[in-house]
Amino acid sequence: MIIQYRMFLIVLMCWVITGCATSVSPSREYLLMDADLQKAHVQPSKEASVQLMPIVVANYLAGNEIVLVTSQGEVHRSQNNLWAESLSPQLTRLTQQRLEKTLPDITWFGGQRLPSYAIALLNIEVDDFYADLDGMIHISGRWQTISAAGELSLSNTFYVTGELQSDGYSTMVQALSASWFNQVIDPMSKEIAKSLNK
């Protein structure tokens, strides 16, 4: 009995020591940044009011983990590299800031602040917003503007790829940010301005 008790204590002590010796990697959190916001080109347009609806992201992107996706469709969720805020509210807030800068003749309303009069709507859906294991970023989805009368005014899809200049999550986040604003939002702004100016 005493031998079994001693063996139990030895095993328990080894387990406790091993548990204490295992270090936990610190997590890093990232935010998307619009580094070119102050340099964004203004698109003149007719005055209008548009409500930017909350940007909808695919379910696999909805968590706080930054994801990498293989060409076979395997999703790798980072446990130590996280979004400081989930993608949908980040993209919505920063997109509204960019639209207010590039289309200042339009009064932009956030998804929760409804004016008392009928206005146009802008819907954006994001299917892909990740990097793959080969060092390429992928952003894809669609957007639509709905007139105040409830009719589809404009509709388009976007698909952007780009090569990462170096390894690392920080580089990936910067590349995703730059591509979102410069290759998705800016071309969309031009289309919206062109449509309003007809």
Which domains occur in the chain, in start order?
A: 26-196 (3.40.50.10610)
Would you state the pLDDT for residue 191? 94
Residue 76 and residue 67 in contact, taking contact as beta carbons nearer than 8 Å: yes
For residues 131 and 116, the model is more confident at 131
Would you state the pLDDT for residue 114? 66
Q: How much is the average pLDDT of 30-38?
A: 91
Would you state the pLDDT for residue 8? 53
Q: Please give the Cα distance from 102 to 43 (Å, whole number).
A: 6
% of the chain surpassing 70 pLDDT: 83
Q: How many other CB atoms sit within 10 Å of the CB of residue 181?
A: 23
% of the chain surpassing 90 pLDDT: 68
Residue 164 and residue 172 in contact, taking contact as beta carbons nearer than 8 Å: yes
Instruction: Tell me the whole-structure pTM to 2 decimals.
Output: 0.84
For residues 114 and 85, the model is more confident at 85
What tens digit of pLDDT does each residue of 46-69 get? 898 899 999 999 999 999 999 999
For residues 87 and 118, the model is more confident at 87
Residue 9 has pLDDT above 70, yes or no: no
Would you state the pLDDT for residue 53? 94
